[in-house]
Chain A
Amino acid sequence: MNGRERILAHLRGEAIDRLPLMPITMQFAAGQIGVPYRQYAMDYRTLVAGQMRTAEKFGFDFVSCISDPAREAADCGADIVMFDNSPPAFREDKARLADKAALAELKAPDPHGGGRMTDRLRAATLFKEKAGGDKLIEGWVEGPMAESADLRGINTIMLDFYDDPSFVGELFEFVLEMELRFALAQLECGAEIIGIGDAAASLVGPQIYNEFVWPYEKRLVEGIHAAGGLARLHICGNTTKILDGMGRLGCEIVDIDYMTAMSAARERMGNQVLLGNAEPVGVVRNSTPERVSAVVGECHRAAGARYIVGAGCEIPRDTPEANLRAMSDYAMGHKP
């Protein structure tokens, strides 16, 4: 049973030989091949090389196109700040939609248009060539809340929910169309599961999440499913108050960050396959292999059989290899 088969069988509820292993790595993967993060994020060949090296070395069952939240916004013409060894980031004061009126003129970028979205499509294509059939290939898009925050400015959109809800609706419609198109293009290139990163959704609370964010996340998931893809939801931060909604999206996998109790996620999300949620810095990076193993075991027991091994969020760059090895060993040594 290879990694791809293992994940897919697990998602179908079939018996598998051991727990699947799907930790998010970005900066750690760049570190594995000794390149600055800027190069990893900007060149699909580097990203694929880093992912392949990391997946082979630690026994991951998947490889991922994830790198940073700025690809779509960059292709929309946003002012992105690049750093040598941190992910690209946004400047709120120069947000692409600092002026709301700019939305009417904004055209959704073509994923094949030669920009940063195209670079991700090339990663998916290269993954298919190098790992297709062996490891599950994961594409990645920003969720509606996260991408809207990227385009509008995260501080500003928080106020927009109260100041101008109809603008928020228009922005979310734009983002949904763009992200769905991007997701489908990645599926066409070889991705089989699409990760949806909706980081900022944990900041808004259940009322705004259910009213504004959830309907768009749901349509994104439905669109991915309609195209034959699988969906993985990843919301950073404390999602305790929005777990019910997250569980109703119909995603094949839902990641749980460390600030949310895995037991609460299991209690409120039925039979959902859950992934997580060892604390990335405090436990995975800063503690010992024994502690990592013990914490992953606690997560497994809290989540039960419908569980995939991973951390709450990205494995930090300077994580000792022995600690990630301990996480891997747990997956290798345990059945669901």
Chain B
Amino acid sequence: MEEAKRLYTAVIEGDAKAAKETTEQALAAGIEAVKLVQEFMVPAMGEVGRRFQCGDYFVPELLLSARAMKASLELIRPLLAAGGVEPAARVVIGTVRGDLHDIGKNLVGAMLEGGGFEVIDLGSNVEPEKFAEAVREKKASIVALSALLTTTMPAMRTTVEALGKAGVRQQVKVVIGGAPVTQEYAEEIGADGYSETAAGAVALVKHVMGLKS
């Protein structure tokens, strides 16, 4: 169990090398992959989110922790898949059409992945139809949309409409965020939720999915 505790620390400290090594050691010591995720990885990223939210961590530290988490998840994911362990939900995430700003989307994606969700990242400048295709192909239940510009925000509405046209709107919850985005705008375009911060995205997704926080 010492290895798993060191994984927790490695993720918080953003040490990818240590995260990989401790994951290997923990798995070799017989700790179940699902236990590593649920009892160590998710709490570690929760702590990272808390530090980010209260201003102890900033973007560099959050990205370092995300990188450490991914290094560990690369080893863990195949084992989860082989064991038939399903994620809490699949999230399709992307920055909307016309917008190349991706750092906010990346922070949210990392927090959601650290919250136990499977994240399918479509990148930036994503066409509305691509979101719909990904939902269908990946059987996602969440679509997370990001926009940094007032001029690209309307593509959020277009994307929500495209999900409807593709007949997948009813099977997903849509959450949105980005500097110019507001709760009122989320309601106006028929999205299911809005988070002002990356750290708040996990609680938001759990809330709209009816999952326990």
Q: Measuring CB to CB, which residues of chain A are less than 8 angstroms from any residue of chain B?
A: 27, 37, 81, 83, 85-87, 89-92, 154-155, 158-159, 161-162, 203-205, 208, 240-241, 280-282, 285-286, 316-318
Within 8 Å of chain A (Cβ to Cβ): is B99?
yes
Contacts of A318 in B (CB 8 A): 150
Could you mark each residue 86-129 of chain B with 1 if its beta carbon is under 8 Å from any beta carbon of chain A, else 0? Answer: 00000000000011111100100000000000000000010000
Given contacts A158-B63, A205-B58, A280-B180, 20 further A-B contacts (CB under 8 A): A81-B100, A83-B98, A89-B100, A92-B102, A155-B102, A158-B59, A158-B103, A159-B64, A161-B60, A162-B64, A203-B58, A204-B59, A204-B60, A208-B60, A241-B55, A281-B150, A281-B180, A286-B182, A317-B150, A317-B151
Could you mark each residue 1-40 of chain B with 1 if its beta carbon is under 8 Å from any beta carbon of chain A, else 0? Answer: 0000000000000100000000000000000000000000
**Bound Cα distance from A240 to B55, whole angstroms:** 10
**Bound Cα distance from A71 to B40, whole angstroms:** 45
Q: Is the CB of A205 within 8 A of B150?
A: no
Contacts of B192 in A (CB 8 A): none
Q: Given A86-B99, A281-B182: A27 and B151 within 8 A (CB)?
A: yes
Return 25 A-B CB contacts under 8 Å, by A number: A27-B151, A85-B151, A86-B99, A86-B149, A86-B151, A86-B152, A89-B101, A91-B100, A155-B63, A155-B106, A159-B60, A159-B63, A204-B59, A205-B55, A205-B57, A208-B58, A241-B55, A280-B180, A281-B150, A282-B182, A285-B150, A286-B182, A316-B150, A317-B150, A318-B150
**Bound Cα distance from A205 to B152, whole angstroms:** 28
Q: Is the CB of B59 within 8 A of A203?
A: yes
Within 8 Å of chain A (Cβ to Cβ): is B157?
no
Interchain Cβ contacts within 8 Å, total number: 68
Within 8 Å of chain A (Cβ to Cβ): is B161?
no
**Bound Cα distance from A315 to B24, whole angstroms:** 52
Instruction: Give the distance to chain B from A316, nearest Cβ to Cβ, in Å.
Output: 4
Q: Is the CB of B60 within 8 A of A162?
A: yes
Contacts of B47 in A (CB 8 A): none
**Bound Cα distance from A223 to B205, whole angstroms:** 48
**Bound Cα distance from A159 to B14, whole angstroms:** 10
Instruction: Give the distance to chain B from A25, nearest Cβ to Cβ, in Å.
Output: 13
Within 8 Å of chain A (Cβ to Cβ): is B173?
no
Q: Given A27-B151, A92-B102, A203-B58: A159 and B67 within 8 A (CB)?
A: yes
Contacts of B99 in A (CB 8 A): 86, 89
Contacts of B60 in A (CB 8 A): 158-159, 161-162, 203-205, 208
Instruction: Give the distance to chain B from A130, nearest Cβ to Cβ, in Å.
Output: 28
Residue of B nearest to A241 (CB): B55
Could you mark each residue 167-210 of chain B with 1 if its beta carbon is under 8 Å from any beta carbon of chain A, else 0? Answer: 00000000000011010100000000000000000000000000
Residue of A nearest to B60 (CB): A158
Contacts of A27 in B (CB 8 A): 150-151
Q: State which residues 64-86 of B face A: CB under 8 Å.
A: 64, 67
**Bound Cα distance from A208 to B152, whole angstroms:** 31
Contacts of A86 in B (CB 8 A): 98-99, 149, 151-152
**Bound Cα distance from A74 to B64, whole angstroms:** 29
Residue of B nearest to A236 (CB): B179
Contacts of A85 in B (CB 8 A): 151
Contacts of B57 in A (CB 8 A): 205
Instruction: Give the distance to chain B from A259, nearest Cβ to Cβ, in Å.
Output: 9
Max count, chain A CB within 10 A of own CB: residue among B61, B106, B150, B182: B150
**Bound Cα distance from A203 to B103, whole angstroms:** 10
Q: Is the CB of B61 within 8 A of A205?
A: yes
